[in-house]
Amino acid sequence: MELRRIDRLPPYVFTAVDEMKIAARRHGEDIIDLGMGNPDLPTPSPIVDKLVEAARHGRNHRYSASRGITKLRLALSDWYRRRFGVEIDPECEAVVTIGAKEGLAHLMWVLVRSGDTALVPEPTYPIHQFSAVFAGAEVNSVPLTPDTTDFFADLQEAYDRTWPRPRVILVSFPHNPTGHCVDLGFFERLVRFARENDVFIVHDFAYAEIVFDGYEPPSILQVPGAKDVAVEFISLSKSHSMPGWRIGFAAGNAEVIAGLQRLKSYLDYGVFQPIQIAAIIALNECDTVSRQVAQVYQRRRDVLCDGLTRVGWPVERPKGTMFVWAPIPGDYRELGSLEFSKLLLTEARVAVSPGVGFGRSGDGFVRFALVENEERIRQGVQGIKRAIECADGRRSRR
Ligand SMILES: Cc1ncc(COP(=O)(O)O)c(C=O)c1O
């Protein structure tokens, strides 16, 4: 049987490393797992307590509202005002999603179809590219590398080269996997461009709270007039350590939000209501928690980046996200990221994500996710040091 839609998906390279990791663990090996961006910190107790309390009430076991309960959309609106000075009308400019990932995938269904094109950075978090693919559209990639100095200019150039003109531009900063960050000026230019060229902007702001060294990440909705041309995604997965809960939001342009709400009303009955009720606590009462979570990731980032640099593998410290995007050291570059990741797993007992999984141009990199504690990260760096020394020794004996 020839399958539709998924036939445009490349083999999922993350699975190859994951399977090796599982096999190694089955053999009793201690693998430091910095592969998937799956937060290891527990959800704060006030949020868990609220879930438990709400789950005891039978009335919360029914189908919920697919666009999210009013009080939760109101809490999102309050959060935007407090955090960014942005006004969001909870009635018509916000929708609750089953995590940002689900929201992104379905949003593309209402924005593009066969014959349309979306502009997306590359490498990037896979659903950024594949949401447009699933919706039947073409994707044009805009390279995002450590050498990128003016991503807006690169976007503009890609736009000018594309015909028919792209209908959607998807961006996401702080960026997974590269850690690239932008300032408000970037979004001002992007919004102006979108208004002038009648193109729609989707901003995935999943790492809004995971930022370091005093960096203040801008929301695209801070730009006056952004709501005419943009929608932004917020996720509680990283900021509030709620990845398994599956809850996120889209906010912005009322017409597009209404489109997504309408589509979702045919697809789902909303997130389990006790989770939505607990998410109100997350948004209303846990600002300090998300700052503490960011500090944990910042300390882990420092341990990893300093450690790798010390053992002869210099890497840049990102200003945001929970990832370190590391160029494969020169001697190993020709292996490519998949083989190098396998080598790190077998020789250093460290699992990472091969850069090629985020797009072809990611092949010179691997991505470390900061999801083990500082001690375990130190242990991982020691493993890498030993693996590099062994490989160097083998090479010099040849
Ligand atoms: C850029 C980006 N967007 C969205 C997500 C997923 O968010 P959620 O858990 O809300 O679906 C991730 C998870 O790694 C991500 O890196």
pLDDT tens digits, one per residue of 4-23: 888 888 878 888 889 999 99
Shared domain for 275 and 303, answered yes or no, is: no
CA of 206 from ligand 1 middle (Å) equals: 6
Look up residue 215 and give its two tokens.
Answer: 């960096």
Shared domain for 50 and 139, answered yes or no, is: yes
Identify the pLDDT of residue 31.
Answer: 97
Nearest atom within ligand 1 for CA of residue 235? 10
User: How far, in Å, CA of 357 to CA of 346, rounded?
Assistant: 19
| Mean pLDDT within 357-380 | 97
Shared domain for 12 and 147, answered yes or no, is: no
Question: Does the bond joining 164 to the residue before it have cis omega, within 30 degrees of 0?
Answer: yes
Identify the pLDDT of residue 5.
Answer: 87
Does residue 341 lie in a domain region?
Answer: yes
CA of 52 from ligand 1 middle (Å) equals: 25
Ligand 1, residues 95, 98, 182, 204: which to mutate, most atoms within 8 A of Cβ? Answer: 204
Ligand 1, residues 101, 107, 211: which to mutate, most atoms within 8 A of Cβ? Answer: 101
CA of 100 from ligand 1 middle (Å) equals: 6
Percent of the chain surpassing pLDDT 70: 100
Q: Strand 94-97 and strand 248-252: pairing? A: antiparallel
CA of 335 from ligand 1 middle (Å) equals: 29
Neighbouring-strand partners of residue 231: 202, 252
CA of 26 from ligand 1 middle (Å) equals: 29
Nearest atom within ligand 1 for CA of residue 102? 11
CA of 323 from ligand 1 middle (Å) equals: 12
Shared domain for 49 and 153, answered yes or no, is: yes
Measure Cα distances from 133 to 61, 108, 138, 158 in Å: 35, 9, 6, 18
Question: What secondary structure does DSSP assign to 330-385, as a single string?
Answer: GGGGGGHHHHHHHHIIIII-EE-EEGGGG-GGGTTEEEEE--S-HHHHHHHHHHHH
Flag whether pLDDT at 384 surpasses 90.
yes
CA nearest 286: which of 87, 99, 43?
A: 43
Flag whether pLDDT at 252 surpasses 90.
yes
Shared domain for 280 and 139, answered yes or no, is: yes
Cβ burial, residue 45 (10 Å; 0-12/13-18/19+) = exposed
CA of 236 from ligand 1 middle (Å) equals: 9
Identify the pLDDT of residue 14.
Answer: 86
Of 257, 285, 313, the residue that ends a domain is 285
Single-letter residue type at 160: D
Q: What is the CATH number of the domain that holds 377?
A: 3.90.1150.10
CA of 246 from ligand 1 middle (Å) equals: 10
CA nearest 203: which of 284, 124, 318, 316?
A: 124
User: How far, in Å, CA of 230 to CA of 251, rounded?
Assistant: 9
Flag whether pLDDT at 104 surpasses 90.
yes
Neighbouring-strand partners of residue 171: 203
Identify the pLDDT of residue 6.
Answer: 87
Question: Atom 2, ligand 1: which residue's CA is nearest?
Answer: 206
Shared domain for 226 and 318, answered yes or no, is: no
Shared domain for 334 and 214, answered yes or no, is: no
Neighbouring-strand partners of residue 200: 168
Identify the pLDDT of residue 397.
Answer: 76
Shared domain for 15 and 143, answered yes or no, is: no
How many CA atoms lie less than 13 Å away from 212 in the CB half-sphere?
A: 18
User: How far, in Å, CA of 78 to CA of 75, rounded?
Assistant: 5
Single-letter residue type at 51: L
User: How far, in Å, CA of 134 to CA of 107, rounded?
Assistant: 11
Sheet holding 353-354, edge to edge: 323-327, 365-369, 353-354
User: How far, in Å, CA of 158 to CA of 312, rounded?
Assistant: 36
pLDDT in tens, 124-175: 999 999 999 999 999 999 999 999 999 999 999 999 999 999 999 999 999 9
Of 266, 285, 304, the residue that ends a domain is 285
Within 8 A by CB and 6+ apart from 358, the residues are 122, 123, 124, 125, 126, 177, 367
Measure Cα distances from 397 to 129, 334, 393, 394 in Å: 45, 20, 6, 5
Identify the pLDDT of residue 391.
Answer: 79
Query: Is 393 strand, coil or helix?
Result: helix
pLDDT in tens, 216-238: 999 999 999 999 999 999 999 99
Does residue 249 lie in a domain region?
Answer: yes
**pLDDT confidence tier of residue 248, bands split at 50, 70 and 90:** very high
Does residue 1 lie in a domain region?
Answer: no
Q: What is the CATH number of the domain that holds 277?
A: 3.40.640.10
Shared domain for 142 and 257, answered yes or no, is: yes
Identify the pLDDT of residue 101.
Answer: 97
Does residue 398 lie in a domain region?
Answer: no
Identify the pLDDT of residue 10.
Answer: 82
Decide if 262 contacts 176 (C-beta within 8 A): no
Identify the pLDDT of residue 382.
Answer: 97
Nearest atom within ligand 1 for CA of residue 101? 11
Ligand 1, residues 34, 76, 102, 125: which to mutate, most atoms within 8 A of Cβ? Answer: 125
User: How far, in Å, CA of 84 to CA of 395, rounded?
Assistant: 54
Q: Residue 351 is part of which domain span?
A: 6-42+288-393
Domain count, the chain: 2
How many CA atoms lie less than 13 Å away from 10 in the CB half-sphere?
A: 12
Flag whether pLDDT at 394 surpasses 90.
no
Please, what is the average pLDDT of the chain? 96
Ligand 1, residues 232, 236, 238: which to mutate, most atoms within 8 A of Cβ? Answer: 238
Shared domain for 201 and 345, answered yes or no, is: no
CA of 333 from ligand 1 middle (Å) equals: 28
Shared domain for 264 and 315, answered yes or no, is: no
Decide if 64 contacts 273 (C-beta within 8 A): yes
Question: Atom 12, ligand 1: which residue's CA is nearest?
Answer: 206
Of 259, 285, 311, the residue that ends a domain is 285
CA of 126 from ligand 1 middle (Å) equals: 10
Who lines ligand 1 at CB under 6 A? 37, 99-101, 125, 172, 176, 204, 206, 235, 237, 243, 248
Flag whether pLDDT at 398 surpasses 80.
no
Identify the pLDDT of residue 118.
Answer: 98
Query: Is 96 strand, coil or helix?
Result: strand
Shared domain for 95 and 143, answered yes or no, is: yes
pLDDT in tens, 310-340: 999 999 999 999 999 999 998 899 999 999 9
pLDDT in tens, 259-314: 999 999 999 999 999 999 999 999 999 999 999 999 999 999 999 999 999 999 99
To the question of pTM greater than 0.75 for the whole model, the response is yes
Flag whether pLDDT at 179 surpasses 90.
yes
